[in-house]
Structure 1
Amino acid sequence: MATDAIVTLERLRCIRESDGSGHSEPYIWPVLIWIDTTNGQVNTADLVLGNARIVIDHDMRAGQVVLIPSSVNTLRVRFTDDPQRFTFIISVVLWENDETPEDAMRAGFKAYTSELRAAIIANLLALQAAQGNPAEEEAVKATIEKRVKDKVEAGIKGALTTGQKIRIALGTLNMDDVVGSDSENLGAISTLATTKPFTLAFRNKSGSESYEIEGNLAVKPVPVDLCQAQVDAVKAAQAAVDGVRNEIRQLQAELHDASPQQKPGIIAMIKKLQQDDLADANTALQKAKQALQACRDRPVHRPPVFDPGGGVLTQ
């Protein structure tokens, strides 16, 4: 029987904030990591690219608690073999939304998701050796975080235009800030129906920004569905469509406050997303839905039931 491991990030609590341009606009980059204890293989699940800048609240203040939107609060992995042999880790970066260009932020997100897995693989033996020793665990985590941070910063910088770099140097382009990052080693699961709550803490170096995220890991058996592969394909295709639409909405919001020099570039990005990316994503979704319908319409061949006295009762 298949089993789902589901991480849900439920609530974001703002403990302290002091955003210079007003109240906070946080967004998150969550990644679920699972490590096969039998062979050391590392796998990750993260957001679709279009959901990498979903603002959780546009006017968050100290003392407030808000629900994290469904588009970014759930990471799900399906196992067809025994999930009890895997160790699960949840890692989240909390950002403050400001004026980083969309192309640069997307480049940073891609660097983050790829480098995090690579950094864990490179430090896996050190992580395993440090288990049970909090000081050593923190040291290994710091090594991983620095490697990932450097890669993300390089990715963002590499996607900036010369004009944008000049504006940063002049102080006229306010780049998004990392409030903090945190991870939790959820360990291995003990049963095939379990829930593990966790709390992640985020704080910048000065202490002026402080947040918490409450979440849980749930492991649930999956009812048998003969069309499960097609169902999963539809969900993935729908997530891709939603991700592109979210990107368009984010850019449209940026367009409202953009300078005359910025508007042509933002408009061009919106048109490309609408004409190319969204069209392709909708085509893929339509094909996935057709494949699912074809699977549902396929006749189910049941084995014959035999009469104890001889003969076939039903076919």
Structure 2
Amino acid sequence: MDGLDGGRSKPRQPDREAVVLGLSPSGFHRLAYADWGPLDDKRPIVCVHGLTRQGRDFDHLAERLVAAGRRVICPDLPGRGRSGWIGNPDHYALPQYCADMNALIARLGVTEVDWVGTSLGGLIGMIMAGFSGSIVRKLVINDIGPFVSSTGLQRIGKYIGNTPPLFKTIEEAEMYFRTVLAPYGKLDDAHWRHLTTHSVGWDDIRQGHTLLYDPAIAKGFRLPWFQPLNLWTYWEAIKVPMLVLRGKQSDLLSFDLAAEMRKRNPKANVFQFDDCGHVPPLMAAEQIDVVAQFLLKDTMSGLGERDG
């Protein structure tokens, strides 16, 4: 199948795209999502992206999982991608994101899911899995921990606060993403173009490409709960198998924090990728393999654990 050769060919398109309505104190908002694979999968895999990203980041991973017979749901969080924006920026916060993801899962009509969360998506996953009565059965946390200090957040907040208002060409946009997402590590040209084309939209009036996220999401960095953020209570309550992914040069998930995560919840295993920082983008075959083995097998046997 296309897309399984390290990025030299384009991944296939989602089988379906749909919208569900989320509700905040500001009113209703659209939640767009890509829907891959068989509708009769009783335990779909929900993949949730990072702070400024969107669901199509998971196309390559989704294709691999679909080939194994799984259904994969990749939403755009509110204020990102094809989803609607929230009227009051104060509501771009974890309680709202959890409520929105619960509404999406309810739309699917299933009683259990597996979860892949990158950065912010991992924080949401920790809370969803840590709640009493959770329907999360396996959890992949991509380069984030229950405690988030200000170091990495300052880097991300800096580029959010200084985003160009317009790109005249797609090539100009790609150069921007190659710069701000440099911690992703070495990616194929096709991967960079994929990340770019799904991260911008054409503005007919201004005759250029604009970023597909609400600049107001940066306001979340000024909320007291985000600096620092402490979710250890949820982490310690999780009772399902977990795979924690870490980039060796990560500025959001340190080696010591990953070790503490293992210590405080024995359900967690840690796998380190040596060639990237925050975050492993889960686009190259070797990264996809690690996630697929965990999600598609009942045990971690055969998965080479590395935490050094």
Bigger helix fraction: 1
Task: Give the structure, 1 or 2, with the largest relative contact order (CA under 8 Å, sep 6 or more).
Answer: 1
State the TM bucket, normalised to the shorter chain.
under 0.3
Instruction: Pick the structure with greater CA Rg.
Output: 1
Structure with the higher fraction of residues in strand conformation: 1
How high is the TM-score relative to the length of structure 1?
Answer: 0.27
TM-score (norm 2): 0.27
